[in-house]
Amino acid sequence: MPDLDQNNLHQPVMVEEVLTALGCAPSSETTGSGKVYVDCTLGLGGHTEAILNATAPTGKVIGIDRDGLALQMTKERLMHQQDRLTLRKGTFKELQHIISDLGYTSVDGILFDFGISSYQLDTAERGFSFQKPGPLDMRMDSETGETAADLVNRLTEKELTNLIRIFGEERWAKRIALGIVHFRTENGEITRTEELENIIWRATPARFRHGRIHPATRTFQALRMVVNREMEQIEAGLSAAISLLGRGGRLVVISFHSLEDRYAKQTFRDLAKKSKMEAEPEFINLYKRPLRASLEETGNNRRARSAKLRALQRAA
């Protein structure tokens, strides 16, 4: 297990905005068991810890993650909160099943943070980052499924082009796909992050190699999304979350990619629009425009720059 530096943990984005959007408030010991919240992307528990602190002494959090190592590390880090914290391994698709198995028919708040944890990026063996030489893996759950290496070595040029263009929104998708196919034809399988990064670098026209983001960013992002079936998981997860919201319950989504944000935006808008036509509206889209991180936060945490927060509430 990687060593945890308590002073250099993954920084959760937009914490105060999340707490406000979820409607977190101190609970009263006289009100019983307190409200129940679900953090569907637990990671190292930054948002979960904030929710537990904000809803003390009786608020509860169910933390879910498909990464078994993240669950283990968070369990140890938040051991002092275990009386109000329940952890489960699972995907967004399994949300309904997990909550039902715990005996709940509804919950008071649900959070999705569609980003990737810093510790995952910084762990070279996971293969998420082109900045960390390592095996080309990228699986959130390292015990199952195809790796990024499997994809880049199996897919045809056309399939690679479509993958990189659609999920990475990469301008040079065709050139990069050609580079991948040429490399594996001449040199054999691509197995390392540094190999793929070098292929992408060479496939990108020289005058576009030193822009705001590294040329490999979008391709690595596209592969990660496909390896983990992220859009499929998001669609299933949001559907389950909406059905699990109790009266007055809130669903909060933080996205970092235009495809993710677009889907959440349209889902929330459609539900709110449909509700307006009813005698008693069931859903309220809390923010007409997504919330963005403050200048202070983006200055301290680069990851927050692309974060967008949206929220939906079921009427009380």
Q: Give the CATH number for residue 30.
A: 3.40.50.150
59 domain-assigned: yes
Sign for the CA dihedral angle at 71, 75, 78, 83 comes to positive
Give CA separation, 187 vs 12, 82, 149, 176, 263, in Å: 41, 51, 14, 16, 39
Tell me the CATH number at 150: 1.10.150.170
Residues 196 and 216 in one domain: yes
Rg of the chain over all Cα atoms, to the nearest angstrom: 21
Residues 36 and 92 in one domain: yes
Residues 218 and 237 in one domain: no
Residues 80 and 159 in one domain: no
pLDDT (tens, 9 = 90+) of the chain, 316 residues, equals: 444 444 445 689 999 999 999 999 987 654 546 899 999 999 999 999 999 999 999 999 999 999 999 999 999 999 999 999 999 999 999 999 999 999 999 999 999 999 887 777 778 888 888 988 999 999 998 888 999 999 999 999 999 999 999 999 999 999 999 999 999 999 999 999 999 999 999 999 999 999 888 999 999 999 999 999 999 999 999 999 999 999 999 999 999 999 999 999 999 999 999 887 887 889 999 999 999 999 999 999 888 999 999 999 999 8
Residues 148 and 208 in one domain: yes
Residues 150 and 199 in one domain: yes
Give CA separation, 312 vs 45, 246, 291, in Å: 22, 12, 13
Give residue 16's identity as a one-letter amino acid code. Answer: E
Residues 167 and 35 in one domain: no
128 domain-assigned: no
pTM of the predicted structure, to 2 decimals: 0.91
Q: For residues 182 and 160, is the Cβ–Cβ distance under 8 A?
A: no
Give CA separation, 88 vs 5, 74, 223, 281, in Å: 24, 11, 26, 33
Give CA separation, 251 vs 21, 177, 206, 237, in Å: 8, 38, 44, 11
Last residue of a domain, one of 205, 227, 249: 227
Residues 173 and 234 in one domain: no
- Could you give the 3-state DSSP secondary structure of residue 61? strand
134 domain-assigned: no
- Indicate the number of domains in the chain: 2
Last residue of a domain, one of 170, 198, 227: 227
Rounded to an integer, what distance in angstroms lies between the CA atom of residue 36 and that of residue 106? 9
- Tell me the residue range of the domain where 294 lies: 15-119+230-314
Give CA separation, 281 vs 241, 268, 275, 312, in Å: 18, 13, 4, 13
1 domain-assigned: no
Residues 105 and 154 in one domain: no
8 domain-assigned: no
